[in-house]
Structure 1
Amino acid sequence: MSLPNQIIDPYQHLHIIPNPNGTITRLTEFYPSIPPSVSSSLTLSKDVSMNSNNGTWVRIFLPRTAINGSHPPNRKLPIVVFAHGGGFILHSAASPVFHNFCSELTSQLTVLVISVEYRLAPESRLPAAYDDVLEVLLNKIRTSN
């Protein structure tokens, strides 16, 4: 079976527009964002600013069992740090697919999930996204001691 010889425009496929200055315009209607949720029956989520200079933040997901008495009160929850997909150029911690995944992960595994909203390329070149995730990890280590 042979594939048809068709040319695919990657910008059109990803719903982005390249700008002359090297940045891209992401078509917002293709990438909706949803607010943190306090209405879920299984998890709670909240956004917390990490670095206002970089515009980074985290969305923290907590299983409801941790606050409704069914989780042992003196037992700490494991922590999962999550960096959303999108090839470092697309999406957000507030994208429905990643919000729903983290909520489900939190509920199913009874863990605290910290989903990092990192800076996107090409406006912020790599390793900026890695630095943002590392900053979250180091900040957590500093604040837990």
Structure 2
Amino acid sequence: MPHFLIRSLPDLDAVSRYIENEPYQHAGAYRSHQVWHFDDVLGRTMGDTVHRADRVRYFVLVAEDHAAPASPKHAEHSWSTAEGLVVFGQLRAPHTGSPRGVALAAQVPSRRHLDVVLEQTIGAPAAGDDLEVIDWDFSGRR
């Protein structure tokens, strides 16, 4: 089962130590890890978002071969959390800095609304091999 964390750590050694000391890692819950640098475009964290019981939450990974922008389309738009976008950022390879895709979290009324958010941010609906859409909660996957 995938587990996603967006953490601010000083360097790759700190990331390795974090992974090694993670309780689920010790319990054998993970076979492998993928680490990316995350360029936070919106300037806020998941903690800045009010958790709404009337909204469905999704975490979306856009694969590296998708022509994903480095920032949401319509960058002049403020992207308030009321519109559903919780976090948005470019993923880059930690050693080379090369683009690897985009990650975003959204809190929206329905999957149809997620498609609207995706169209407005990356210009693509939530379908296809280059998008992974995960039912998600602020404490992890549902």
Look at both structures and tell me which one has the larger radius of gyration over its CA atoms: 1
Q: If the TM-score is normalised by the length of the shorter chain, which range does it land in?
A: under 0.3
- TM-score of the superposed pair, with normalisation by structure 2: 0.28
Relative contact order: is structure 1 or structure 2 higher (C-alpha 8 Å, sep ≥ 6)? 2
Bigger fraction of residues in helix = 1
The alignment's TM-score, normalised by the length of structure 1, stands at: 0.27
